[in-house]
Amino acid sequence: MRDGLIAELREECGVFGVYGHPKAALLTYFGLFALQHRGQESAGIAVAGGGQLTCRKSMGLVGEIFTRPEVEGWQGPAAIGHVRYPTFGSSNLNNAQPLVVRARTGTIALAHNGELVNAPGLRAELESQGAVFQTGSDSEVVAHLAAQSGHEKLEDALLDALRRASGGYALAVLSEDALYAARDPNGIRPLSIGRLGDAWLVASESCAFDSVGATMVRDVHPGELVRIGPGDEGFRSFQVSPAGRPALCSFEYIYFARPDSDVQGRNVHLVRKELGRRLARDYPVDADLVIGVPDSSVSAAIGYAEEAGLPNEIGLVKNRYIGRTFIQPTQEGREAAVQVKLNPLKQVVDGQRVVLVDDSIVRGTTSRHIVRLLRQAGAREVHLRITSPPYRCPCFYGIDTSTSAELIASNKDVPAIRKAVGADSLAYQTIEGLTESLGYRPDEVCLACFCGDYPVRVPGQEPRRPLTRQQSWAARPPAAGS
């Protein structure tokens, strides 16, 4: 749980695929469980076997939709699966994935993580040519582009379609006889390749490989389309377009990925610990203990406590058996859900000066609520430390923040945010601290939500000068009489 992205944003999706295993559907079922944190609105599995594709999808969690005996009965050597939060298209079953499309190249199922920035324009163009859309998802745009390409081979149709698409995407496509995986030219959205015996797998995160006993082989390269098929063709790689500026979403490390995942060779838990260490060095404070907002900020809190020489405590207990707070339709509902979901440990925080580590502040309402919970439990001081820089700009590549108006850091400076959330002090990670902790240069990772430097041009958005220098983002209450 975190203030920003779990409580107030709809995040990304997760994709998983298997080729060449007799229990492909069962492996996909387990893989989706491992990726459930990436999408809790809907889930689906498509299976290829006996010369046909079958697909089942529904609203809800993986364990609510499928049963193991049911999935074990699905025969076929290849399958793909998807867990979804909506970033483009409304929240309903019609937009759940995988999408199944029939065209001259045969029947395909498609699972997509990310967002195409030019989807509205492409959709209007396709509709003017007679295309009929069944969903509001930008994923269907890719399917229509492939169907109208005129190519007989699916790989050629996909290459043609993806060369027209722009944005951040990780794509798994299943045909009756092959599995395809593709990643956007900037590598904004992650996608990896694994092996289990003779079978090939693809997944949004390496933790999904671990869950089925598979081994990660490599990441899908930016701008690459991989075809995994039978016989002599086997594993084949195609270049959709030349790789662009490297721009992996920095929030994969800050929040999205599970701590046991490795993202582009870097373990997420260790990266988050370093983010916490950097905050402790840059923004120390006299305090008695450190707590992290579960779950994504626990690793960073460990790093902060180790660097600061302070005890690291469990100060907030999470109820894991209720849905995600942002699903509530109103802000009042979200805040009520936070109170049910997070309970402070009064015996730990009572009378203490607390460092509260979280990964982001988006609107600020949930941060304010958590600070209030700690004060009601007796915390004498609450010093908020955020492992990301201020979230100032909307994301157009797969996170549901479409306007700056909903982002508190776009409209308030840090002292005003500190006052709004009620903390005794507030400090954000600097961009320099973030990129050095991640192990990247500023031009090797996407920082658009912090500085507006979009790696892929977004129609209607003016580019901003990137903020890549060391910049202090910290605030305390004004001194008495100032």
83 strand-pairing partners: 14, 43
The CA–CA distances, whole Å, from 203 to 242, 315, 461 equal 22, 34, 31
CB 117 within 8 A of CB 458: yes
Angstrom distance (rounded) from CA 204 to CA 225:
15
CB 178 within 8 A of CB 234: no
Of all residues in the chain, what percent are helix, strand and coil, respectively (each to 5)? Answer: 35, 25, 40
User: Which element (helix H / strand E) includes 5?
Assistant: helix 5-8
Angstrom distance (rounded) from CA 393 to CA 410:
7
CB 322 within 8 A of CB 282: no
CB 384 within 8 A of CB 412: no
A 10 A CB-CB count for 355 gives 32
- Asked whether the bond before 389 is cis by omega within 30 degrees of 0, the reply is no
Angstrom distance (rounded) from CA 197 to CA 20:
9
**Residue type for 214, please?**
A
Measured in residues, the chain has a length of: 482
Q: Taking phi first (over 0 means left), then psi (-120 to 50 degrees means alpha), and beta for anything else, what does residue 245 get?
A: beta
Angstrom distance (rounded) from CA 76 to CA 316:
45
Angstrom distance (rounded) from CA 247 to CA 202:
20
Active site residues: 13
Helices (H), 283-345: 298-308, 331-341
- Closest by CA position to 348, among listed 268, 289, 301, 398: 289
Sign of CA dihedral 165, 169, 174, 180: positive
- Closest by CA position to 287, among listed 384, 411, 416, 388: 384
Angstrom distance (rounded) from CA 361 to CA 417:
9
Helices (H), 186-265: 207-211, 251
User: Which element (helix H / strand E) includes 56?
Assistant: strand 52-59
Give the distance, in angstroms, between the CA of residue 402 and the centroid of all CA atoms in the same chain. Answer: 16
CB 153 within 8 A of CB 422: no
